[in-house]
Structure 1
Amino acid sequence: MVDADDRPDGTGGIVFFRTENRETVVDWYRDTVGAETWLEQPGCTILAFDGFRFGFCDGEETETEGILTFVYDDAAAVDAMHERVGDAADEEPHENEQYDIYQFFASDPDGRTAEFQTFR
């Protein structure tokens, strides 16, 4: 393991996904989830949500592996997000005792899993 004092300073990271529907999926994360455009590049849009950066790039195939997890301060905010995502929600918010979180999963317009949670 690298000691934090021995590594170069960084400014964070970005997770990228290929999509065949960049405009639709980007609009969903902006309009429904509340992410903001951090950087627009040719063929790619990078979004930010409270320091979490993720991007969608034009592709001939859509990548749906992985889970984008959005963390909130409390259960009321998770419940509010459940209302906002509406029919995209795959389940009701619930306690997950194994991880000591309150959560629910939804599917974005590409079918990618988005999780909304708070730690207890």
Structure 2
Amino acid sequence: MHRRAVETAGCRAGSVKRGLLNLANTPIDPDAEEHPYQQIAADVIRAIQSAELRVGGRVPSESALMQTYGVARNTARHAVEFLRAEGWVRTLPQRGTFVVDRNDEGKPSV
């Protein structure tokens, strides 16, 4: 078995995998006014603001978000797209999604 497979073998949904955070501080509330993707994005933003996720740090993958929050891939993808549109993260093809440096105005720095 490859080393990576060994490191992640036995991890269950909601557990912390190597390099990932246990974000589900706030479970998805189906009765909330916010859509599930907005609730996930808010949880990731809280992790960024509390420095649990640092600038340059990898944001959990869509698959990890799906497992953590028990949502469909489309919901996880929409959450990441929302974070990207709001300037919290950037996605590098074949590498992942990372927290961006933001200036004092809350906009991503160039």
TM-score range, shorter chain: under 0.3
Calculate the TM-score normalised by the size of structure 1. Answer: 0.24
Could you state the TM-score of these two structures normalised by the residue count of structure 2? 0.25
**Pair member with larger Rg:** 1
